[in-house]
Amino acid sequence: MPGALQRFVGKTVAITGAAHGIGAATAKRFLAEGARVALIDREDFGDVFAGHAAERVLTTVGDCTEVAALTDFHAHTVGVFGPVDILFNNVGQSGRERAALFHESDEGVWRFVLEVTLFTAMRMSRLVVPAMRERGGRIVNMASDAAFVGDAGLTDYAAAKMGVVGFTRSLARELAPHGVTVNAVAPGAIRTRAHDRLASSVIDRIKATTPAGFVAEPKDVAGVVAFLASDDARYITGQTLLIDGGRWMI
């Protein structure tokens, strides 16, 4: 990223769900701005970060819904790079092909969506918070505009993402006296692999209900996460910033 700022030189960044999409784009943004990045995803990273200095990229393949996987990832990160300065709780997903209208939905899917979307953010945050209370830091959580819009067929996902919003606000109050900010981003339609699997009719409907009239790219979210993690946002905490082309305005 030619001409990028260097706001994160000497900083350690941890990102969950970072092999593709928004997570990978955000990792590359932090790398471009001088950070060391530690990444975990259940999929292999392949050559996603080829060309980046190996001593500044640490990748771990693991399931973020497993407590031991997150614990080991955090311990390895600290052992190699030192304490985490910035945490981006990115991992999460809807029921996807198992999503359904509420009266037809399955409780097992609810539990999965809550586990991967909300509990991972809570668990990973608890791992980094003790050191952040001593040193300061930044936490950015992944919410979704689905929490605010309330899309039909996504009741479990909307509930989980609104849970992320509530978690963000409460943790922000706890950590503000320690120099830690906690914020959330709430993307709308972003061109990721999951989004690309949607039918063209669904994409057209999304565009029609988005004032900006187009589907954003992962880098559009990455830039906002980097801002919230920077000193430029030191007086912003407990907030949820929607990145959805105006689909929902607050």
At a CB cut-off of 8 Å and minimum separation 6, what does 115 contact?
A: 65
First to last CA, the chain: 32
Query: What are the residue numbers of the active site?
Result: 157
Q: Which residues contact 153 (CB under 8 A, 6 or more apart)?
A: 99, 100, 101
Structure tokens at 158: 């909307």
Q: What DSSP assignment string belongs to 129-165?
A: HHHHHHH-EEEEEE--THHHH--TT-HHHHHHHHHHH
What token pair was written down for 244?
A: 């959805």
